[in-house]
Amino acid sequence: MGNAGSIGLMLLFFGLMIYIGIYSKKWIASSSDFLIAGREIGLLVNILGVSAIGWAGTSVALAPGLAIRGGLVSTLVFAGAYGIIGILLYGLLFAPYARRSGAHTLPEWLEIRYSKRVRTMIALSTTVALIGITANNILSMALVIQGYTEWPLFIAISIGLFTFLAFTYLVGLWAVTLTDFVQMIIGLVGIPLLVIGLVSTYGGIDWAFASWPGEQSVWLAGIAGWQMPVWSLQYPSVLTMIFLYSMFLVWGSQHYWMRVASVRSEKVARNSYVGAGILLFLINGLLGVIGVYAVAKYPTMFQPVGEILPEAAYGMVLKDLPVFFGGYLLIFGIAASMSTASTTLMAASGTAVRDLYQRGFAPRAAAKDLVKPSRYITIVIGLLSWILCWFPGGPLFLFAFATAWLGPASILLVLGVFWKRTTADGAFWGGLIGLCAMTVWIGLDTLHIYSTSSLAHVGIVGLVTTTVPTVVISFLTKPKYFAKKEYHADAAEHGGELHVS
C-alpha cells in the first residue's frame, strides 16, 4: 500500500510538471522567450537553476555508483571536477564574458570570434553531445524509478520522456526555469529528509562504514577493491574526470552558456555560478554516502559482485525507508533528472534552431516565426534522446561518451578568450581534425576492429587532436585584427578604446 502511495505521488508530480508548462505557455511570444527566457532571470533563480542542472539524475545515479565502484574518494573527484573546477571557475573566467558578448549560443559566439564554418561545425557536434547528455538523464531517472517500482526499464524511460518533453514543448526555457526552481525547493527539503531517513532506517554513518564489505577503506576503494587511478588516460580516472566533467561538460556546453545568456547582468552571471559550484560540490559529495548505505545493506547485489548496476543504488535504498520518506525522495530523484534533461534538451534545441535551422533554412525569419520550429525540433531531439538511452554500459559510460563531443567547443572557447593569436583557420581545422579523430576512435571500438578504449578515452583523444592542430595552424595563418600589434598600439593611443585603424 505504501509503495502504491509513493507511485501515486510520483504520477501526481508528473502531472504538476505538465500543468506548469500549460500555465506558463502564455509567456511565449518569440523564440527569445522560448530559448533564453527573455534575459529576465535573477540571481537566486539562476543559482537554483544552475544547481538544478548539476543536481541531476546523473548525480543521483553517478555519485552513489562511483562510491560503490571506487570508494568515496571517487565521488569526491567527480564532485570537485564538476562543482569547483567546472561550475565555479566558469563563473569567474567565462560567465561575465559570455553575458557581455550578447550571443545566445556558444556556436554563435564562435562565429563572431572565428568564422561561420566554425559555428556550423561546433553546432553539429554540440547538438550530438547534448542529445547524449539528455538521454543520460532520462536513463538515470528511469533507473531510479525502476529501482523503486521494479517496472520494466522501457516503461520507466517512456513515462519520464513523455512528461518532460510535454512541458518543455509548451514553453521552453521558462518552463525549465520554473521546474528547476521547484526541483531545488524539493531538494533543499529532501537532503535533510534523506539523512534522517538513512540514519533512522539503517543506523548512523559509523554502522554503514563498519558494514562496508571491501577489504580496504570505504574512502579509497570500491567493493571489489578497485581504486580510481590518477593519471590514467582510460576512463574513469582523476585525469579523465577533470577534463570531461569540468572543461568539456561545463565550459564547452551550450546549456551553461544558455543560462548565462538568460540572466540580467554580468554580475548575476558570475555570482550565480560561484554559488552554484560550491553548493553542487557539497551535494554531490553527500550523495556518495547513499552508495555506502546501499552496499552495507545489500553487500552482494551490485556489480561487479552481483548483477545490479551500482547506479541503481538510490532507488533501491528508497524502498527501505518509511513511506513518506521514500515517496518524497523518489520525487526528489525524478525531479533532479527531469530538470537537467529538460535543460539539456533546450540547449540542444537552441543550438539546432539558431545555429542550424535559422541560418540554413530561415535566415530572414522573425523571432516570433521561430517558436513553432523550435517546438518541432524539440520533439525530434527528444525522440533521438530516447534512442540513445540504450547505449551500452549504462549511465557511467553514456555520460562520458556524450561529454567527449563537447571537447572541441571548450578548447576553442579557452583559446579564443585567452589567446588572441588563435585564427579562424586554426579553429576550423583543429576542431574538424579533433571531431574526425574521435569518430574514428569510437568507430574502431564500436565495430570491434580494435579496442581503442583500452588505450585512452575518446575525450583525451579529442583534447590532443583538437589543441595541437589549432595551435600549429594558428601560428601559420593570419589572425584577426585584434591580435595585431598595431591594433593594441592604436587602442592605447585612444585611451584604451577599442578602435580599428
Cell numbers linked to 139: 536513463
Q: What is the DSSP string of 69-114?
A: HH-HHHHHHHHIIIIIIIIIHHHHHTHHHHHHH--SSHHHHHHHHT
In contact, 251 and 417? CB cutoff 8 Å: no
Q: What is the pLDDT of residues 384-405, one digit of tens each?
A: 888 888 876 677 678 888 899 9
pLDDT band at 181 (very low <50, low <70, confident <90, very high): low
Architecture of domain 2-406: Up-down Bundle (1.20)
Residue 20 CA, distance from chain mean position:
23
pLDDT of residue 164: 67
CA 40, 41, 43, 44 dihedral sign is positive
Give the pLDDT mean for 298-308. 90
CB neighbours of 30 closer than 8 A, spacing ≥ 6?
366, 367, 368, 370, 371
Burial class of residue 480 in the structure, from the number of CB atoms within 10 Å of its CB (0-12 exposed, 13-18 middle, 19+ buried):
middle
Instruction: Give the C-alpha separation, 139 to 388, whole Å.
Output: 9
pLDDT of residue 488: 53
Cell numbers linked to 471: 595551435
pLDDT of residue 35: 43
At 28, is the secondary structure helix, strand, or coil? Answer: coil
Residue 124 CA, distance from chain mean position:
17
Q: Which of 40-54, 149-163, 485-499 has the lowest mean pLDDT?
A: 485-499
pLDDT band at 172 (very low <50, low <70, confident <90, very high): low
**Distances in whole angstroms, Cα of residue 64 to Cα of each of 231, 329, 336, 418, 422:** 23, 15, 15, 37, 41
What are 263's strand-pairing partners? 41
Q: What is the pLDDT of residues 210-247, one digit of tens each?
A: 999 878 899 999 999 999 999 999 999 999 999 999 99
Instruction: Give the C-alpha separation, 176 to 21, whole Å.
Output: 9
pLDDT of residue 491: 46
pLDDT over 60 (residue 44): yes
pLDDT over 70 (residue 429): yes
- pTM, two decimals, is 0.81
Sequence spans of domains, the chain: 2-406, 419-501
Instruction: Give the C-alpha separation, 316 to 328, whole Å.
Output: 14
